[in-house]
Structure formats: C-alpha cells, structure tokens
C-alpha cells in the first residue's frame, strides 16, 4: 500500500520528471475520484498552470502550481501515478503541453484528488501527527508514555505519528522485536528506543528500494518497488522467520491483518 516510502518515492520521481511542465488538458474518466472542486472547475484550475514543486506530507502528495494553488493527491490503497502515461487504465489522464501525459489510476476508487488554494487547510493534513523523521528520540518516548493502546494500531494512527501504515508498522515491530499487541506505555525505555530506531531504518531502507510493491503500488515508471524482497514478516504467513525459523503468524489486530513472529517478538 502506498505509505510514506511509496509516496516519497513518487515525490522524488515526479520532481525529476514533471516540474516545469504545463498542463494542457485533464481527461476525467471517473469523476468519483475528484473530491473538490467539481470536475469542470477542477480542470479549469489546472489547465494552463505549470508544475512548480512536489511536496509530501505523510502519505499525501502535493503538486504545487504556478498559480499558487495545488493538486493534492491521496492514493489511499490502490492509487497509482504513472509517467509517461498511456491513458489505458487511467481514471484521470493529465496531459502536458510537451505532448506527454501523467496517468492517475485507481482500481478501487478510494483515492482522492483535489485542487486547493492552500493545501495546509485540508482537515486531514491539519490532523496529522509528526512524521518519524521529524521526531527526536526523547519526543517519541514522551508521546508513548501516556498511551495505553496497542502499539501497532497506535503506529498506524496518523494523528499520533504520520506516514506509517499496516506494512511498515509490522516490519518496524519485528525489527524492534516487540509484539504488535503490547500496550504502548508498557514498553520499556529500551524497547521504545529500539522501536524508534527500527521505524526510521525500515522507512529509510524502503525509500532506498523505491517502496514495496504489494497489490497495486508501482513507481512512477510503472515498475515495481523492490522492498518486498526485504520483508521479514509482512505477507509471509506460515513462512519461516528469517531470524529464528518459527512460522510467521498472522492475526487480526484493530481489524487489520497483522504479521509477526511470536518467538522473536515479545
């Protein structure tokens, strides 16, 4: 799923490829993904503007435009951005004045596109907790101290810490050797410390590999990200733990599939 590493991968690739390009057309084939404003106005606000910069906030991509507004993209679970586009599976196809185009694909239609005067006013963005890379060790320890919830759902709570989803929560907890069902405030300082380090390592490594292509995620080129080869637990139910050999287990936690090694993670 597109989590911080996948969205950051796309941000970097978009930065290299579409900054400076001018929108010449927007072909909306599935209006449902356009959340605001209505399709006709959405098009009008894009066409003729030039891409100035590409930002990322947690899992949200922000394409800053020459007219001061922004194209705000949340890929949710199956959203894709592909460049150069073919238009084949596109829900929305953006064309540029140089004749190339950018495809927005989304199998399950959960993703959300907006054009906003100020992306900072988006409620979801205002509710985001700090990103892992913006946190200090001490800050992270303090945040966990007052939380009695289970650590894995807490890591996925965007208002608590932003950018981590189901996959990287599982991988970070494995790396820190912490059971996903432990309560946050019950972790020892040493465990919290390991978790903080593990989160940053897992995210950094995943970005290096261009993200994890499970289900639909692809890089801007349409090619898969390579981090799946490094997954220790996610998607590995029944397979031997890379550390101890015990079969990886999958349980439901907070309604989500949760992979872990019950021998290594205590």
Partner DNA sequence: AATGGGACCTGCGCGC
Partner DNA sequence: TGCGCGCAGGTCCCAT
- Residues at the contact surface with DNA, assessed by CB under 7 A: 1-3, 32, 58-60, 74, 76-77, 107-110, 123-124, 127, 148-150, 153, 156, 158, 165-167, 250, 252, 254-257
Please say which residue, 21 or 164, places its beta carbon nearer to DNA: 164
Cβ(57)–Cβ(33) under 8 Å?
no
Contact 50, 73 (CB under 8 A): no
Q: 3 catalytic, yes or no? A: yes
256 catalytically annotated? yes
If you ran DSSP here, which 8-state letter would residue 75 be given? -
Start-to-end Cα distance in the chain: 26
Return the number of the residue (19 or 181) whose C-beta is nearest DNA.
181
111 Cβ contact partners less than 8 Å away, ≥ 6 residues apart = 33, 73, 74, 75, 76, 77, 78, 79, 91, 104
Of 76, 147, 177, 256, catalytic: 256
Nearer Cβ to DNA (37/254): 254
Q: Is the preceding peptide bond at 16 cis, omega within 30 degrees of 0?
A: no
SS3 241: coil
Using the minimum distance from each CB to DNA, give the nearer residue, 156 or 199.
156
Choosing from 45, 56, 57, 59, the catalytic residue is 59
In angstroms, rounded to a whole number, what is the distance separating the alpha carbons of residues 61 and 100?
20
Minimum gap (Å) between residue 172 Cβ and DNA: 13
Least distance CB 119 / DNA (angstroms): 14
Residue 100 structure tokens: 């190339």
Q: Is 59 a catalytic residue?
A: yes
CB of 118 to DNA, least distance (A): 17
Judged by CB, which is closer to DNA: 77, or 141? 77
The yes-or-no answer on residue 12 being catalytic is no
CB 195 to DNA: min, Å: 17
The minimum distance between CB 107 and DNA, in angstroms, equals 5
In order, the DSSP letters of 3-69 are -HHHHHHHHHHHHHHTTT-BEEEEEES-GGGEEES-HHHHHHHHTT-BEEEEEEETTEEEEEETTS-
In this structure, the chain runs to a length of 266
Q: List, by residue number, the catalytic residues.
A: 2-3, 59, 256
């Amino acid at each position: 799923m597109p989590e911080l590493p996948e969205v950051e991968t796309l941000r970097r690739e978009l930065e290299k490829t579409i900054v400076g390009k001018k929108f010449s057309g927007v072909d909306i084939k599935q209006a449902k993904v356009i959340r605001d404003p209505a399709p006709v106005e959405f098009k009008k606000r894009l066409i003729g503007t030039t891409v100035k910069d590409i930002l990322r906030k947690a899992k949200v991509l922000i394409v800053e435009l020459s007219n001061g507004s922004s194209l705000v993209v949340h890929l949710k679970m199956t959203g894709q951005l592909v460049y150069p586009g073919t238009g084949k599976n596109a829900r929305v196809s953006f064309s540029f004045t140089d004749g190339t185009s950018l495809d927005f694909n989304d199998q399950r239609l959960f993703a959300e596109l907006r054009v906003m005067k100020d992306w900072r006013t988006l409620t979801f963005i205002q509710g985001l907790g700090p990103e892992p890379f913006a946190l200090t060790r001490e800050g992270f320890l303090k945040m966990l101290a007052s939380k009695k919830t289970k650590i894995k759902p807490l890591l996925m709570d965007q208002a608590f810490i932003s950018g981590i989803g189901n996959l990287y929560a599982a991988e970070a907890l494995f790396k820190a050797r912490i059971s996903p069902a432990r309560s946050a405030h019950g972790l020892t300082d040493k465990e919290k410390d390991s978790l903080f380090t593990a989160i940053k390592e897992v995210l950094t490594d995943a970005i290096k590999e261009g993200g994890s292509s499970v289900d639909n995620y692809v890089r801007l080129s349409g090619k898969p990200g390579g981090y799946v080869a490094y997954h220790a637990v996610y998607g590995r139910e029944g397979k031997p733990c890379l550390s101890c050999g015990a079969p990886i287990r999958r349980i439901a936690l907070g309604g989500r599939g949760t992979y872990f090694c019950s021998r290594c993670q205590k």
